[in-house]
C-alpha cells in the first residue's frame, strides 16, 4: 500500500510532467490526460465502479498517431500494485505500449521518442 508521502511525490512528478507537456506541446493539448481512478469515499467508489472505473488503469493516457500510450507514474522507489500489473498485462496483450515513468527527464525522453 502506498503512503500519503508516496502519493504526494507521485503527484508532484505527474504534475511536473503534465505542465511541461502542456507548455511545450501546445498543439497536442488534450491528448495527454489523467485517469481519475481514486475515490474519496466508499460511496463515490461504488459510483465510479458503476461508471466504468477499472482498478489498475495507468495514471495518464497519451493519444498520438493512432496509438494510445499508457503512462504510470511512480517515485524512484515506487512499485506497481497487483491491479496495475494485471492491467499492464491486459493492455500489452492488445499491443498497447505501457510505460512506468519515475521523473520529468524520463517523461521528456518518452514524449520526444513518440512524437519525433
Please state the domain count of the chain. 1
Q: What's the grid cell of residue 94? A: 492488445
Q: Is the dihedral of CA 43, 35, 80, 9 positive or negative?
A: negative
Cβ atoms of 65 and 9 closer than 8 Å: no
Q: What's the grid cell of residue 7? A: 502519493
pLDDT digits (tens, 9 = 90+) for 23-74: 999 999 999 999 987 756 667 667 777 788 888 999 999 999 999 999 999 9
Q: Is 73 in a helix, a strand, or coil?
A: strand
Q: What's the grid cell of residue 115? A: 512524437
- Res 6 pLDDT > 50: no
First to last CA, the chain: 37
CA-wise closest residue to 78 among 62, 96, 59, 94: 59
CA-wise closest residue to 100 among 66, 75, 63, 82: 75
What was the pLDDT predicted at 12?
95
- Res 5 pLDDT > 70: no
CATH of the domain at 23: 3.40.1350.10
- Res 107 pLDDT > 80: yes
Which of the 8 DSSP states describes residue 96? -
The dihedral over CA atoms of 41, 90, 31, 73, expressed in degrees to the nearest 10, equals 60
Supply the range of the domain harboring residue 90: 4-115
Q: Mean pLDDT over all residues of the chain?
A: 89
Amino acid at each position: 500500500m502506498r503512503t500519503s508521502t508516496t502519493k504526494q511525490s507521485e503527484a508532484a512528478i505527474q504534475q511536473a510532467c503534465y505542465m511541461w507537456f502542456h507548455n511545450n506541446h501546445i498543439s497536442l493539448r488534450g491528448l495527454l490526460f489523467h485517469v481519475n481512478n481514486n475515490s474519496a469515499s466508499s460511496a463515490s467508489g461504488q459510483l465510479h465502479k458503476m461508471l466504468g472505473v477499472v482498478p489498475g488503469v495507468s495514471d495518464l493516457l497519451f493519444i498520438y498517431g493512432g496509438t494510445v500510450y499508457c503512462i504510470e507514474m511512480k517515485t524512484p522507489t515506487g512499485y506497481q500494485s497487483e491491479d496495475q500489473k494485471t492491467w499492464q498485462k491486459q493492455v500489452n496483450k492488445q499491443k498497447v505500449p505501457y510505460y512506468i515513468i519515475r521523473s520529468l527527464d524520463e517523461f521528456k525522453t518518452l514524449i520526444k521518442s513518440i512524437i519525433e
